[in-house]
Amino acid sequence: MKKILVLEDETSIRSFVVINLKRAGYEPIEAGTGAEAFERLKENPDTRLAILDIMLPDIDGFEVCRRIRAQDPHMGIVMLTARTQEMDKVTGLMTGADDYVTKPFSPAELIARIDALSRRLGDAEQQDTGEIIQEPFKLNTRNRTLEKNGVRIKLTQVEYVIMKMFMENPGKALSREDILNTVWGRDYFGELKIVDVNIRRLRIKIEDDSTNPSYITTVWGYGYKWGF
């Protein structure tokens, strides 16, 4: 059974989510506050997925996401955004979330997102061999790590998959749709904006100057290119 943290203070929404997750074969771990979430994760260190609400009684979901991410770059994290403001989504992704679902959501939509994320993590665990070296970067596809000038850069699973896609296609312009399909899957029904936000986050990590990127360059009106 795949354990999944469900952090939501509104009990009606939480039970609705929990029932649907159980039906889909997951083992939900429930929490109503940020503090409770950290406690439950400590008790269940084999939890690989998390659904985080943003508005909570103690600390906000963004902070929970940030703290989980600091300890575990491989956790699959979906944020529940109550408001439809773009800022919420962008902030969530910038703090390290992999995806977001806007309330009100249908169980089918939520489960589809969780299944897609879970599949990606599963693929991620299948071991690969070798490394791709493009100075100053070295991508180790066996232990899924990235180094720049010999210094390890911590990547989320999504960022890793994007980096691998770039490094396997040096100099080739990749459309945002191509990136979305490869990284999030063809059945993903989110927005292309998620690609841009992840690229922005990746640039902050790998570029010498993220406002003037030299490795991941923008191909206007199309997508991005690994600029070698």
99 is an interface residue for Ca ion by CB under 5 A: no
Q: How many residues bind Ca ion (CB under 5 A)?
A: 3
Point out which span in 6-14, 102-110, 128-136, 216-224 binds Ca ion (CB under 5 A). Answer: 6-14
Query: Using the rule CB under 5 A, which residue among 3, 9, 48, 185 binds Ca ion?
Result: 9
CB nearer to Ca ion: pick between 34 and 223: 34
Q: Which of 67, 35, 65, 38 is nearest to 51 (CA)?
A: 65
3-state SS assignment for residue 170: coil
Distance in Å, CB of 4 to Ca ion, minimum: 18
CA distances 35 to 31, 63, 129, Å, are: 9, 11, 39
Query: Using the rule CB under 5 A, which residue among 19, 27, 55, 152 binds Ca ion?
Result: 55
CB nearer to Ca ion: pick between 9 and 178: 9
CB 21 within 8 A of CB 6: yes
CB nearer to Ca ion: pick between 9 and 147: 9
Distance in Å, CB of 60 to Ca ion, minimum: 9
DSSP string over 55-91: --SSS-HHHHHHHHHHH-TT-EEEEEESS--HHHHHH
CB nearer to Ca ion: pick between 15 and 145: 15
Distance in Å, CB of 122 to Ca ion, minimum: 29
| Strands lying side by side in the sheet with 216-219 | 173-175, 223-226, 216-219
- Alpha-carbon torsion (63, 68, 70, 73), positive or negative: negative
Point out which span in 7-15, 59-67, 119-127, 190-198 binds Ca ion (CB under 5 A). Answer: 7-15
With tokens 């997750």, the residue in question is 21
Q: Which helix (H) or strand (E) holds 28?
A: strand 26-31
Query: Using the rule CB under 5 A, which residue among 21, 53, 180, 199 binds Ca ion?
Result: 53
Residue 173's φ and ψ, nearest 5 degrees, are -75, 125
CB nearer to Ca ion: pick between 53 and 159: 53
CB nearer to Ca ion: pick between 11 and 106: 11
Binding residues vs Ca ion (CB under 5 A): 9, 53, 55
